[in-house]
Structure 1
């Protein structure tokens, strides 16, 4: 076990965990519709303000606030004025964190990723203190150098930033029940992977629950409790995110895209897309071209 932990901890030194790290600026009623991804997303607002809808909660993000959004959480980003909002922004893979034990640090049998989940509950919004601001800027500066050493340094700064977030979140890890959360997290993890692997065909909640050996009602309940949205809404939103990728990166027709994401009815696809994203698929493609 120690050897396995060492292997994964070594990835913090050798792998490029961070997918994107930069300072961005948005203005003039900009909006990015509901979406989700498998990475963890970090923001620090430098100037102005923005709004985010995370799950079923809408928050206002003001200057010098820090926001962490966990993987597979539906969220959107939008401005309500012509004013400009500038922010630091990082996406990174959470996978290595799930294999790193924090038991020697916390005194509890808990991995790095689970500790983040316990402390954040979908997202974390706190003032950016000097530690967060300093480490965030170092992550971006090192990542943009693009060398092996700078990637390693950015990973280490990211690790320090996340540990700091866990420490100041105010959540008590001693209340974490490993037996309860481990079982439920495994159900949720299996369900998400099942959707990712089978979204191109018809998905029945009963098919998933049967494979897990639990009832559909129980699966639906813990999924709603854990993810903040119904399982059906998650399936639809995941499909819409795949549709967005195909609209942006391919020349496929909307009928072809609908079929590819497991929706044979292109009219139903267009209606669901508009309800989820806020525009029709054709309007969204025109928006991207602009």
Structure 2
């Protein structure tokens, strides 16, 4: 989600809470600052508010998982609240703990809590600049789920081009078919280069170690192809093969950026669940002891 003018009032709420909560905490503890522990009346109230903010942020998963259920407010409001109220919960939990690490359980809670915040901010930053970067680097962007299908189409086009030049790959009479202007040596070498480098490269998954994955080494492959005898007769088709390889590299770049854009959730969501579970354990132990 982009941070734009629609976040203005959420930002105001965050700033007021982030400034007001510590100021009020300091005012209430001005005579006995060490007395405002998590178990004090003031500390408990800060803990209740902080836990409520964390719970609100955690409910975003339920809103997304059950889109047909009626939740109060719009989905975009839940997402904005997830960001700003999640950040604000850090301030209230700090006040709840009286700015201390606490015991072992509390320290684990802090580590997980900070990990949730860091991964969330990291994902927010990625969502802020990666879509624009993706558009800049991959002008022919297509739906991510369609990439394997597009790769199959591209390889089919390449197969047809090479079969037209060299003859069908599995035909016993291939040497006498294909483009009659190409020599048999050129056909054999072109077919070998295609089967060894180009065809596997156009497949899914992407071969990052392939020669064609590197623009400099890819140019070497096509330079070798252009040096074949009588290849001038197939110049247009060779150029089309090169274009298909360039498009495959662009699709691979889109795949890479898409993974960066979404795979941070593989850390953020499990950490968030762990935080809520640890929070329940913390509350239970606090009430019990």
More strand, by proportion: 1
Larger radius of gyration: 2
Using CA pairs below 8 Å that are at least 6 residues apart, which structure has the higher relative contact order? Answer: 2
* Greater per-residue helix proportion: 2
Q: Output the TM-score relative to the length of structure 1.
A: 0.23
